[in-house]
Amino acid sequence: MPRESISQRKLRAAKIIAGLEAAYPEAHCELAYASPLELLIATILSAQCTDKQVNIVTETLFKKYRSATDFANAKPAELESDIRRIGLYRNKAKNIQAACRAIVEKHGCEVPRTMPELLELGGVGRKTANVVLGNAFGVNEGVVVDTHVARLSQRLGWSAHGAPDKIERDLQELAPRDKWALLSHLLIWHGRRRCFARNPDCPGCEVNALCPTGQRILKGAAWKPGM
């Protein structure tokens, strides 16, 4: 695909987003939650873990711990045991308790609604904050960049970077602000259902005509890791 101007890249991005919206009209966060606090906890647990596995654990976890105070006051060993089937459970238990103590002590037991306040909570980075803001509060502060979003951003020619913060800036430049939260869902759903890490289904892809990687593969290029 020839080198594009920023206006051409934005136009192509708009067409891709529209194509993904048509393909996945129900795209949404697949973590199960009923409150901002539950989404915050689930997102902390989801690092290097599947949403399906997190949802299995939180189904019982959220019945036992119903408030930030419950999590903050839990015995560390007991909370670790409650999330043991999730990877990095000891570190995640510490992060959950640190975040919940801050919520109790500094925010009246309510999850804060701004990026700076969320980033001050223990164990909360920009990705987690973006998930909470975009899904619990409907605030388009940024774009969630997980492994799927990073992979598809490179394949679609939207970013040449590997660092999440740089990928996020590239996506924010291409997509209108009111699409930022939705964009991450669309890319994650497409990554899970079509644009797999290995052997992506380019022939069946709904936006292959707009994807430089897909076009190379459809023209006969052999798929290889890194594409």
The answer to whether the CB of 25 falls within 8 A of the CB of 186 is no
Q: Can you tell me the distance from the alpha carbon of 97 to that of 89, in angstroms, rounded to the nearest whole number?
A: 12
The catalytic position among 10, 51, 94, 146 is 146
H-helix or E-strand containing 199? none
- Is 64 catalytic? The answer is no
The catalytic position among 92, 127, 170, 179 is 127
Q: What is the DSSP string of 134-189?
A: HHHS---S-----HHHHHHHHHTTS----SHHHHHHHHHHHS-GGGHHHHHHHHHH
Tokens 């394949």 found at: 155
- Is 127 catalytic? The answer is yes
Q: Give the distance from CA 187 to its chain's centroid.
A: 9
Which are the catalytic amino acids?
A: 127, 146
